[in-house]
């Protein structure tokens, strides 16, 4: 049992009807999950207005309602708290409910269009290797020390975030590395959290279905840095043209990293191969088993964070040089026929361009690059023609296929991708709706030393068609198909 007024510490309250000293059991923003003596937060959401569910929440046992508009009909023995923004109130209350775990752990948040999962996972592995217990909140999985929990969001709701952080504190974790999505920032899922470091990787075209304009998308990312406290550290990639914008209004200490220009942390690629890279960070050279320029950025950010957290360059580089690739991110396999398979989660135009360019930079012989990709249903449609253009322009041959069509018609998505293929490239692609058939065809076409890039689904172990999820893993399927050919 907790006392309501304690849970509301730091919440900006506009009006109270009822008793704030009442005891409560739990907190929720979903009327369907409310039980006896819970607090219900009425949130004006993307599709629905939680205020419509206040009476259901009360029927299910809620005794406290936190809302932006107090209902016209007031029920007896119910406490109503009016706030100007329920989602911010939820974040702050969730922190109080779990006894402010973000103040008891070093919380590091990474935002940007691409590289969040890779960098947070590298950091989790790096700091675990340095001997610390760590937590990870990522698209692929959530982790508390060695325990793995499912992840349904890149950045979960504030109750889930605080629950995970509280468990991490209970398990003596010193650091928590979390992905910060633009949806998460925009929906105030981070309200009330105490970040030690906020870092920015890059911003390119994505999620315009949600944010509507690129300017709104930039503003959402920038809000994360605007809200960092004075004693936090804000780290940015100044090779991205919006890198500085992120820091322009932050109160936090400003730190920069770059592969191109003068910055606090400077990296250089000495050699880039399919099986690894020779890198130089602040003058020190080391080998890494990761490939591709974008991974040099991810490792440079991990290095920057390690140094800012007080580690020496030698400690950080020794640990970084031992890091393995992240599942579904530039993951490679060489078959007995000497065909290279690369599985990568590139699902934005910029990521697709980066992975193909990264592969092309390592090509020394006359091998062909065959790219297989599709685009997700119910996601930013303007990505589709752009990705069609990029894949066919930069690969020797492209097979356009399905990603997760969700409840869209797969062939309609494919048509929208095909619309972006330039006239001179129309003979450089085919479309095969079934993803497995697409992989099979690429394997049939491929000759020794050719490279097959399977992009868009990375670590995902399912394909969502017509709202139903079927088991599907790009790498496993490619390996099985390769086994069956001579
Ligand atoms: C569009 C979107 O982001 N929606 C998220 C948002 O839901 P919402 O508040 O808009 O929900 P809503 O359906 O409009 O309902 C409004 C309110 O009424 C409540 N309600 C509704 C029905 C009912 O019977 N009773 C009830 O109380 C709901 O619980 C909610 O509080 O807040 C929810 C709680 O945090 C999220 O689970 C939900 O994520 C949906 C499922 C989603 O698909 N989100 C994706 C787009 C997303 O967040 N992706 C990002 C980025 C990924 C990336 O970077 O690639 C992520 O961080 O995962
Ligand atoms: N620093 C980077 N810059 C540009 N592209 C990158 C970078 N890191 C990774 N990528 C590309 O983006 C893809 C997705 O990477 P990752 O999963 O790390 O990004 P994310 O930001 O977590 O994406 P999501 O928004 O889906 O959570 C990778 O498979 C790779 O193709
Ligand atoms: N976090 C991203 C992942 C996209 C992955 C791609 N495979 C798809 O399904 O569109 C999103 O939900 O937009
Ligand atoms: Mg991610």
Residue 365 has pLDDT above 90, yes or no: no
Report the separation in Å between the CA atom of 70 and the middle of ligand 4, taken as the mean of its atom positions. 37
Beta bridge partners of 298: none
Per residue in 323-338, pLDDT tens? Answer: 999 999 999 999 999 9
48 in contact with ligand 1, CB cutoff 6 A: yes
For position 130, what pLDDT does the model report? 94
153 in contact with ligand 1, CB cutoff 6 A: yes
Beta bridge partners of 197: 108, 233
- Please work out, in degrees rounded to the nearest 5, the angle formed at the alpha carbon of residue 187 by the alpha carbons of 18 and 224: 115
329 in contact with ligand 2, CB cutoff 6 A: yes
45 in contact with ligand 1, CB cutoff 6 A: yes
Per residue in 180-236, pLDDT tens? Answer: 999 999 999 999 999 999 999 999 877 778 888 989 999 999 999 999 999 999 999
Report the separation in Å between the CA atom of 118 and the middle of ligand 4, taken as the mean of its atom positions. 7
Instruction: Please identify, by atom number, the ligand 3 atom nearest to the C-alpha of residue 206.
Output: 13
| Distance between CA atoms of residues 423 and 279, nearest Å | 39
DSSP letter for each residue of 345-377 = ---SHHHHHHHHHHHHHH--SS--EEEEE---T
Structure tokens, 389: 């253009």
Residue 294 has pLDDT above 90, yes or no: yes
Residue 402 has pLDDT above 80, yes or no: yes
Domains of the chain: 2-97 (3.40.1390.10), 101-320 (3.40.1190.10), 331-483 (3.90.190.20)
What mean pLDDT do residues 290-300 have? 95
Q: Identify the residue whose C-alpha is closest to ligand 1 atom 7.
A: 45
The ligand that comes nearest to the alpha carbon of residue 140 is: 4
Element at 462 (helix H, strand E): strand 462-465
Report the separation in Å between the CA atom of 302 and the middle of ligand 2, taken as the mean of its atom positions. 14
53 in contact with ligand 1, CB cutoff 6 A: yes
Report the separation in Å between the CA atom of 46 and the middle of ligand 1, taken as the mean of its atom positions. 7
Report the separation in Å between the CA atom of 116 and the middle of ligand 2, taken as the mean of its atom positions. 6
For position 479, what pLDDT does the model report? 96
**Signed CA dihedral, 458, 464, 465, 469: sign only:** positive
410 contact partners, CB below 8 Å, separation of at least 6: 374, 377, 402, 433, 465
Report the separation in Å between the CA atom of 113 and the middle of ligand 2, taken as the mean of its atom positions. 7
Give yes or no for a contact between 114 and 201, defined as CB atoms under 8 angstroms apart: yes
For residue 143, give the nearest of 162, 119, 107, 167 by alpha carbon: 167
186 in contact with ligand 2, CB cutoff 6 A: no
Determine how many CB atoms are found less than 10 A away from the CB of residue 285. 12
For position 209, what pLDDT does the model report? 80
For position 205, what pLDDT does the model report? 76
How far lies 146's CA from each of 106, 140, 266, 300, 341, in Å?
18, 15, 32, 25, 30
Report the separation in Å between the CA atom of 348 and the middle of ligand 4, taken as the mean of its atom positions. 12
Starting at the edge strand found earlier in the chain, the sheet holding 451-455 runs 331-334, 340-344, 451-455, 369-373, 397-400, 429-431
Residue 486 has pLDDT above 70, yes or no: no
Instruction: Please identify, by atom number, the ligand 3 atom nearest to the C-alpha of residue 377.
Output: 10
**DSSP code of residue 85:** -
Candidate of 39, 42, 44, 46 to mutate for ligand 1, largest count of ligand atoms within 8 Å of Cβ: 46
What mean pLDDT do residues 45-73 have? 97
Token pair 């078959």 is found at: 335
Q: Identify the residue whose C-alpha is closest to ligand 2 atom 13.
A: 346
Average pLDDT, the chain: 96
Determine how many CB atoms are found less than 10 A away from the CB of residue 358. 23
- ipTM of the shown complex: 0.95
For position 364, what pLDDT does the model report? 73
Nearest 10 degrees: Cα torsion 211, 214, 218, 219: -60
Total count of residues recorded for the chain: 486
Candidate of 117, 179, 379 to mutate for ligand 3, largest count of ligand atoms within 8 Å of Cβ: 379
**Signed CA dihedral, 259, 260, 266, 270: sign only:** positive
| Distance between CA atoms of residues 223 and 215, nearest Å | 12
Instruction: Please identify, by atom number, the ligand 2 atom nearest to the C-alpha of residue 237.
Output: 1
114 in contact with ligand 2, CB cutoff 6 A: yes
Q: Identify the residue whose C-alpha is closest to ligand 3 atom 4.
A: 347
The ligand that comes nearest to the alpha carbon of residue 114 is: 2
Structure tokens, 367: 């091998």
Structure tokens, 4: 């309501």
Residue 419 has pLDDT above 70, yes or no: yes
Residue 30 has pLDDT above 70, yes or no: yes
Nearest 10 degrees: Cα torsion 361, 362, 367, 371: -70
Q: How confident is the model at residue 119 (pLDDT cuts 50, 70, 90)?
A: very high
Candidate of 181, 347, 470 to mutate for ligand 3, largest count of ligand atoms within 8 Å of Cβ: 347
Token pair 């399919």 is found at: 274
Which residues are part of a known binding site for meso-2,6-diaminopimelate?
379, 403-406, 456, 460
What mean pLDDT do residues 394-400 have? 97
Residue 423 has pLDDT above 90, yes or no: yes
Instruction: Please identify, by atom number, the ligand 2 atom nearest to the C-alpha of residue 329.
Output: 29
Instruction: Please identify, by atom number, the ligand 2 atom nearest to the C-alpha of residue 206.
Output: 25
Phi, psi of 422 (to 5 degrees): -75, 150
For position 438, what pLDDT does the model report? 98
pTM exceeds cut of 0.90: yes
Residue 157 has pLDDT above 70, yes or no: yes
Report the separation in Å between the CA atom of 111 and the middle of ligand 2, taken as the mean of its atom positions. 11
For position 485, what pLDDT does the model report? 76
- Pairing type for strands 429-431 and 265-273 reads unpaired
Instruction: Please identify, by atom number, the ligand 2 atom nearest to the C-alpha of residue 345.
Output: 29
Give yes or no for a contact between 438 and 456, defined as CB atoms under 8 angstroms apart: no
The secondary structure of 271-291, three-state, reads: EEECCEEEEEECCEEEEECCC
Report the separation in Å between the CA atom of 181 and the middle of ligand 2, taken as the mean of its atom positions. 12
| Residue 458, helix vs strand vs coil | coil
Which of 31-45, 170-184, 339-353, 355-369 is predicted with the least confidence, judged by mean pLDDT? 355-369
Taking the alpha carbons at both ends of the chain, their separation in whole angstroms is: 66
């Amino acid at each position: 049992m907790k006392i309501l007024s304690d849970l509301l510490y730091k919440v900006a309250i506009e009006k109270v009807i009822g008793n704030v000293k009442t005891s409560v059991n739990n907190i929720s923003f979903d009327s369907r999950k409310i039980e006896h003596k819970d607090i219900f937060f009425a949130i004006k959401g993307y599709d629905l207005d939680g205020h419509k569910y206040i009476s259901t929440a009360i029927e299910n046992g809620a005794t406290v309602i936190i809302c932006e508009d107090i209902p016209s009909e007031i029920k007896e023995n119910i406490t109503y708290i009016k706030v100007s923004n329920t989602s911010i109130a939820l974040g702050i209350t969730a922190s109080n409910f779990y006894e402010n775990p973000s103040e008891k752990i070093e919380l590091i948040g990474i935002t940007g269009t691409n590289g969040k999962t890779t960098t947070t996972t590298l950091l989790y592995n790096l700091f675990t290797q340095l001997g610390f217990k760590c937590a990870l909140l990522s698209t692929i999985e959530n982790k508390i020390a060695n325990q793995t929990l499912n992840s349904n969001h890149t950045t979960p709701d504030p109750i889930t975030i605080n629950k995970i952080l509280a468990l991490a504190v209970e398990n003596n974790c010193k650091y928590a590395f979390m992905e910060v999505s633009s949806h998460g920032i925009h929906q105030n899922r981070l309200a009330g959290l105490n970040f030690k470091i906020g870092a920015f990787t890059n911003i390119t075209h994505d999620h315009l279905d949600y944010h509507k304009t690129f300017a709104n998308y930039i503003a959402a990312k920038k809000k994360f840095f605007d809200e960092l406290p004075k004693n936090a550290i804000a780290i940015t990639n100044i090779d991205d043209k919006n890198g500085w914008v992120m820091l322009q209004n932050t109160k936090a200490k400003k730190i920069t990293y770059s592969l191109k220009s003068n910055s606090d942390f400077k990296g250089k690629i000495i050699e880039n191969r399919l099986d690894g890279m020779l890198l130089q960070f602040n003058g020190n050279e080391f080998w890494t088993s990761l490939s591709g320029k974008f991974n040099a950025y991810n490792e440079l950010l991990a290095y920057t964070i390690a140094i800012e957290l007080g580690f020496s360059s030698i400690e950080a580089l020794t640990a970084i040089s031992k890091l393995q690739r992240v599942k579904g991110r530039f993951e490679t396999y060489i078959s007995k026929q000497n065909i290279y398979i690369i599985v990568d989660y590139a699902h934005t135009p910029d990521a697709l361009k980066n992975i193909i360019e990264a592969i092309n930079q390592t090509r020394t012989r006359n091998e062909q690059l065959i790219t297989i990709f599709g685009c997700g249903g119910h996601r930013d449609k303007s990505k589709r023609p752009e990705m069609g253009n990029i894949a066919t322009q930069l690969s020797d041959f492209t097979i356009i296929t399905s990603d997760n069509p969700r409840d869209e018609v797969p062939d309609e998505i494919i048509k929208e991708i095909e619309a972006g293929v330039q006239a001179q490239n129309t003979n450089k692609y085919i479309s095969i709706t079934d993803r497995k058939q697409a992989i099979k065809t690429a394997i049939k076409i491929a000759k020794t030393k050719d490279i097959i890039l399977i992009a868009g689904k990375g670590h995902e172990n399912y394909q969502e068609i017509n709202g139903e999820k079927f088991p599907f893993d790009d790498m496993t399927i490619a390996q099985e198909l390769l086994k069956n050919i001579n």
